[in-house]
């Protein structure tokens, strides 16, 4: 933001459909959503691709064994995203595809809350790789476990704005800088 001293940024969070509505109703100039969309009146710019990863507390039963397969999640205590979120739809699709019925202990909208509750609940979760920084995992005593099946859960995070919206040259430059920075730091 140091390069854009005159730019005012106000961040709102929400589910993808809420952010799409904010942009369509011109409540915000731009939005960042967890999927690619094709909506009339909106432009959608891909920022980066991502996939889900299995996350468990250090010392969890799954972390102690060998490779983890999707069937290992059957009946497993899990904390997952609330219904209506894009990530929940993706997770539900994966569970249906592989016939998995986990023991869902909590459904939450917040990345942070899920991460903080995992060690206490001794549960597993599926989170986007882009969110899982080494320091975050270390600070919360968590580990990620590779799963071949989750590599197929690819999704594209995108920036959206109204197609008739005239974004200032400063906003366009800022968006390009963000995109370049994300490509740099997210090696997926």
Give the tens place of pLDDT for each residue, 118-173.
Answer: 999 999 999 998 889 999 999 999 999 989 999 888 888 888 888 777 777 887 78
Give the tens place of pLDDT for each residue, 8-55.
Answer: 777 777 778 888 899 898 888 888 888 888 888 898 888 888 899 999
In a domain, 7, yes or no: no
Is residue 28 located within the same domain as residue 61?
Answer: no
Return the H-helix or E-strand segment holding 79.
strand 77-81
Residue 13 near residue 86 (C-beta atoms within 8 A): no
Distance linking the first and last C-alpha atoms of the chain: 25
Is residue 117 located within the same domain as residue 173?
Answer: no
Q: What is the pLDDT of residue 1?
A: 55
Is residue 122 located within the same domain as residue 39?
Answer: no
- The Cα 132–Cα 161 span in angstroms is 27
For residue 143, the tally of other CB atoms under 10 A from its CB is 16
Three-class SS of 90-151: HHHHHHHHHCCCCEEEEEECCHHHHHHHHHHHCCEEEEEHHHCCHHHHHHCCEEEECCHHHH
Is residue 25 located within the same domain as residue 57?
Answer: no
Q: How many domains does the chain have?
A: 2
Is residue 89 located within the same domain as residue 109?
Answer: yes
Task: Please state the φ and ψ torsions of residue 37, each to the nearest 5 degrees.
Answer: -130, 160
The range of the structural domain enclosing residue 107 comes to 52-152
| CATH number, position 130 | 3.40.190.10
Is residue 95 located within the same domain as residue 32?
Answer: no
Is residue 114 located within the same domain as residue 37?
Answer: no
In a domain, 68, yes or no: yes
In a domain, 8, yes or no: no
């Amino acid at each position: 933001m140091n390069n854009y001293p005159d730019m005012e940024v106000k961040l709102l969070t929400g589910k993808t459909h809420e952010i799409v509505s904010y942009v369509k109703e011109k409540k915000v100039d731009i939005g960042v959503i967890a999927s690619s969309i094709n909506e009339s009146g909106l432009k959608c710019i891909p920022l980066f691709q991502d996939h889900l990863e299995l996350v468990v507390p250090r010392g969890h039963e799954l972390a102690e064994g060998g490779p983890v397969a999707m069937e290992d999640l059957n009946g497993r205590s899990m904390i997952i995203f609330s219904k209506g979120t894009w990530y929940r739809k993706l997770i539900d699709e994966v569970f249906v595809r592989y016939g998995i019925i986990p023991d869902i202990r909590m459904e939450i909208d917040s990345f942070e809350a899920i991460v903080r509750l995992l060690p206490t609940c001794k549960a597993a979760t599926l989170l986007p790789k882009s969110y899982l920084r080494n320091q975050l995992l270390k600070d919360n005593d968590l580990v990620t476990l590779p799963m071949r099946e989750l590599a197929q859960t690819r999704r594209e995070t995108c920036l959206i704005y109204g197609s008739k919206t005239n974004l200032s040259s400063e906003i366009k430059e800022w968006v390009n800088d963000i995109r370049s920075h994300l490509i740099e730091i997210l090696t997926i």
